[in-house]
Amino acid sequence: MSKEAEYRGLAAKAIDLASRASSRRDKSRLLEMAEKWLELAERAHRLADHFKPQQWQHPLLRMKLGDEKHPDAE
């Protein structure tokens, strides 16, 4: 499981708990917590996009893995 998915799952749990909380104060705090988890999920998503393996792999390695055609293949 990715960090993004983990954080989104924790946000969902916080929202679920907030929906069942009896006091407004507890609901408010749980919803704030859910917002923070979603912010972390978004940050994890941006970092994952920034560090995709294709960005640092050598072109010949990408070709062997099937991500890119070799320029001499045609």
Interacting residues of 14 by C-beta distance below 8 A, sequence separation 6+: 30, 31, 33, 34, 37
Interacting residues of 31 by C-beta distance below 8 A, sequence separation 6+: 14, 15, 18
Q: State the pTM of this model.
A: 0.67
Distances (CA, A) of 21 to 24, 27, 35, 51, 71: 8, 6, 17, 39, 60
User: Over the chain, what is the mean pLDDT?
Assistant: 84
In percent, how much of the chain has pLDDT > 70? Answer: 77
Condensed to tens digits (0 to 9), the pLDDT of residues 39-60 reads 999 999 998 876 665 555 677 7
Alpha carbon 16 to its chain's center: 20
In percent, how much of the chain has pLDDT > 90? Answer: 58
Q: What residue segments make up the domains of the chain, in order of their start?
A: 3-65
Place of tokens 């009896």: 22
